[in-house]
Amino acid sequence: MKFADAHTPGRREILAGLLALPAGPVLAAPRVVAPPRPPVVTVLGDSITAGLGVRPGEAMPARLQAVLAARGLSVQVRAAGRNGDTSAGGLARLEGALGGDTAVCVVALGGNDLLQGLRPEATRANLRAILTRLRERRIPAAIAGVNAPALLGADYARRFNAVFTDLARDFAAPLLPNLLAGIGGSRRYMQSDGIHPNAEGARVIAANLAPVVVQALARSAQVAAR
């Protein structure tokens, strides 16, 4: 008895069979998660913040970022200083300086008010307006004050210096009472004009300011968690 030859499938049949098989699961491309951006600390100030007379990497904001990094804090310090700015000037450009990403604002204004002999009450009003806007935007503030020398008169110095301590109390803001503490009048730390810190002076200011900024960053984290 003769058996018929078994049918051998051709290429077309093999391809048709493969196409008829159920498709396997489609593997999604791995999701790339961008690292979180570091919080922005905006320093609203005058020529000391702007780094007049020193290189950008040696100015106070850059020094402050380095000091905070040494403490294990990854932050971006934004220098928002303008030469000659008074408290009124800082108030006028506040919104533009903050942008939409500021986590903490260091208010370092008042030195030019002092140099121009402006009324302490005017400085107080401008700084209060700045701090009020920051509070409305839920941005914690840190305050860097400037001490008035007694040669301007005891009453003037008392009224001017009280501006910073009073506002720090009213707004529960951490305070560095005197931005130039430990360096004012020193040839080692000041430029020849006797007003602006040199690179080494900026380093000292940053070291003094860092603990105040750390306090404000802690408050910022609390605000973000609410």
Catalytic residue ranges: 47, 193, 196
Q: How many residues does this entry show for the chain?
A: 226
Q: Which of 76, 53, 52 is nearest to 64 (CA)?
A: 76
Q: Is the dihedral of CA 73, 78, 83, 85 positive or negative?
A: negative
- Nearest residue to 99 via CA among 35, 173, 37, 41: 41
Beta bridge partners of 42: 78, 105
Quick check: 60 and 24 in contact, CB under 8 A? no
DSSP summary character for residue 194: S
- Sign of the alpha-carbon torsion through 52, 56, 59, 64: positive
Whether 38 contacts 75, CB under 8 Å: yes
Residue with tokens 């905070």: 68
